[in-house]
Structure 1
Amino acid sequence: MCLLFAVSTATVARAMPEQAVTLATCYGYYAAAVDHSRLDQGEHDGARMRRDLFEAMTNALVAEQATDRRLTISVTQTRVQARAQMRRLMRSAYFDADARRQRIALANIRRQLSACNAALLDRRYSGF
């Protein structure tokens, strides 16, 4: 599952476990989705719930590795970069004048959030 096709974390990804990259990225994506829902004054409890879940999972992973300060910094950088990327996509999807760019951005948003939803269902993250 490639969640980070546009998030430039090549050096961060080597230092971080794949699980940490995935959780931090999804946390950033859903943080941007919640921010966007505030702009359009919609109620997106599902996005809030997923953001909170990814936040809790990311925090738990970082707490397990509390002695590794580089991991904490890398997770924060990955989350911030993912959030910025999703905000750019949402800006293009909802405010761009070009209909083609809007469709492409919406498709990318759907693909990335679907990958995050699949990660929630993946056994690696459920603890079984």
Structure 2
Amino acid sequence: MNGLRTYLATLLLAFGSALQAADTASPSDEALMLAACQARYTAVLEHAWLMQGDTEAAAMRRDLFAAMLEAALHDAPDQHRIKRHLISFRISQKHAASGLLDTARFGTDRRRSRIALGMISQQLSACDRLVIGRMLLGA
């Protein structure tokens, strides 16, 4: 009976360690930023499509950030878990960006619309600086 208890205790410890290791597989700050940029430009693309605007530039940027994110994760250990984290993160970032775009375009409070436009503009500018900074540095 002692052997069975020892075996079960060892099994539980190993299982607990595996769960803890699974929780520690998280995306880097760079991956989070690239995922956020991809999500923001997805929201811009959808917004432009709904407004019958130019979708080409937003689609190119979204695809660029998707490719950059894929490249950043290429050699990452445990990238499947990281990608699962990033999917949830991208969904929340796209939802937030869509909300800002909707408020900026359709908001009835001019002050809130102006603030929303400023926020989404700043976020997209930060994304664009990531790409421009890499091009200038030759990376």
- The one-letter code of the counterpart of 2:87 is T
Which is higher, the Rg of structure 1 or of structure 2?
A: 2
Aligned partner of 1:5 in structure 2 is none
Gaps of 5+ in 1: 1-11
CA shift digits 1:21-60 (9 cap, x unpaired): 1100000000000000011101132211111100111122
Amino acid at match of 1:46: A
Q: Distance in 2 between matches of 1:70 and 1:127?
A: 31
Instruction: Specify whether residues 27 and 115 from structure 1 end up closer, same or farther in structure 2 by C-alpha distance, changes over 3 A only.
Output: same
- Whole-angstrom CA distance in 1 between matches of 2:110 and 2:87: 34
Superposition RMSD in Å: 2.2
User: TM-score, normalized by length of structure 2?
Assistant: 0.74
SS of 2:74's partner is: helix
Q: In the aligned structure 2, how far is the partner of 1:127 from the partner of 1:21?
A: 22
Q: How far 1:98 moved relative to its partner?
A: 0.8
Identity %: 35
1:127 CA displacement? 6.4
- Seen in structure 2, the aligned counterparts of structure 1 residues 25 and 60 have a Cα distance that, compared at 3 Å, is same
The amino acid of 2:41's aligned partner reads: Y
**Structure 2 residues without counterparts, runs of 5 or longer:** 1-22
Structure 1 segments (4+ residues) deviating >4 Å = none
Instruction: Give aligned pairs, total.
Output: 115
**In structure 2, the residue corresponding to 1:76 is in which secondary structure?**
helix
Q: 1:69 to 1:127 in 2, by over 3 A?
A: farther
1:50 matched residue in structure 2: 61
Q: C-alpha displacement at 1:76, in angstroms? A: 1.3
Give the corresponding residue for 1:65: 76
Structure-2 separation of matches of 1:24 and 1:105: 21
Q: 1:68 to 1:113 in 2, by over 3 A?
A: same
**Structure (1/2) with the larger helix percentage:** 2
Matched with 1:116 is 127
User: Given residue 70 of structure 2, which amino acid in structure 1 is its aligned partner?
Assistant: N
